[in-house]
Chain A
Amino acid sequence: MPLVQVTIPRMLAELIGGNRHQDVEAATVRGALETAISRHPELAVHVFDETGEIRPHVSVFHNERSAQLHAELNDGDAVVVLQAVSGG
């Protein structure tokens, strides 16, 4: 299973003690997010909505490109959760 790094926004990191980065083993972008969230289940409601989809104003990037949740990962890949550019 590829070893990748998941990065979350600072506002979410502060809910779990401040650590923005986690190394996880996962085959897909969704798998990486779910593994990271399984360690800190309070994050789930902030990333996914009631239907299990990524929240409309949350963006997920895979190696600096907008991610498909089913995209396959390779060793060393980066999965980054970002606050979408919206709101005030």
Chain B
Amino acid sequence: MSVALAIGTLKGAWVARSDDGRTWSVDGPYLKGWQVNTFGVAPDGTYLLSTGSTWYGAALHRSSDLANWSQVVAGPAYEEDSGRKLEQIWTLAMAGRSLFAGVAQAGLFRSEDAGETWAPVEGFNDHPTRPGWQAGLGGLVAHRILVDAADPERMWVGASAVGVFATEDGGESWELRNDGVTRAAPDDDYPDIGFCVHGLVHDPDEADSIWRQDHTGVYRSRDGARTWQRIETGLPAGFGFPVGRDPQTGRLFVVPLESDEFRLPVNGEFAVYASDDAGDRWFRAGDWSRPGFDGVLRDAMAIDGNGGVYVGSTAGRVALSADTGETWLELDVTFPRIVSLHAFVI
């Protein structure tokens, strides 16, 4: 079994490949010079990535081999009279035969033809609370999409700095679900929003169990995001961006950073933290760390389901484990700032 680790950076994409999880070859850059924000798989089995550019806007690209990419001509786009601009495409997710894209300025788009054409998800984009939506440091962004595999009509979307939304009807209607989470951007005119979710992951076999790396800490929900409880025992800090979960063992992973002000590894130790009891207690994964002052962005953690755990850092380094975080090594290539990391089992 081979793994292709797709690495999206500020200046292009690379693909690291391995047959054993320990020896890696690296190919690239692909889309040289373009910021590569995320990767995904379309319902037809082709790979997708999104590019974003300060100069040239955002686009989707498709490949059958993660090496030869061609641009999707009719990617997600706001209507001319919407007053909104599509600045970046931050996440892609399949829900049954549908494909969803989360974008900045915050919105969702849906494709029913494997990503060739897209339509806005109006129930989300025109949500009644939208006039109060505030941008976080990374912009006003819809960046996480979870789908209930058993019922793809049920989805959860994280938007910053707004909160977690849920739909039970395939995206027609959306409600905010953030009870128990501390607001990061409180505005008394809009008491239901102002939550700054960073990472979201859930249990594919029990979709109502959701974990959340938020601006204000690490949280867990057991009821489909309706209520949240803080779970930070053993963590050196509650702030961070990604949260991941190994589907085989249930082990959770986060990469804590010292506070929203400083955003640095605590005590200059770059480390991944794990939990084997659904977040009740956390420990340093594999007791591994290295001196470092780099962090991990929200889309830059990947888990392949076969023991592989991968984190890409803001310093362009990739740390990886082939044994669910027990032992770690780093690729001997330094990349530009890593924005996204996705593992594909080939």
Contacts and interface: CB of A to CB of B under 8 A. Distances in A.
A11 B59 CA distance: 13
A84 B56 CA distance: 10
Contact of B80 (A14, A51, A86): A51
A46 B59 contact: yes
A58 B71 contact: no
Contacts of A83: 55-56
A50 B54 contact: no
Interface in A38-74: 41-42, 45-47, 49-52, 55, 57-58
B317 to A, nearest CB: 20
A50 B77 contact: yes
Given A11-B34, A14-B32, A50-B82, A45 B55 contact: no
Given A45-B75, A50-B80, A86 B85 contact: no
B77 A11 contact: no
Interface in B35-71: 53-59, 71
Given A11-B33, A11-B34, A14-B32, A49 B57 contact: yes
A51 B33 CA distance: 26
Nearest to B76: A45
Interface size class of B (residues with CB under 8 A): 20 to 34
B266 interface: no
B50 to A, nearest CB: 12
Interface string B16-37: 0000000000000000111000
A87 B55 contact: yes
B344 interface: no
B55 A58 contact: yes
A50 B32 contact: no
A49 to B, nearest CB: 7
A46 B82 contact: no
B54 A46 contact: no
B73 A46 contact: no
Contacts of B75: 45
Contact of A55 (B57, B78, B82, B84): B57
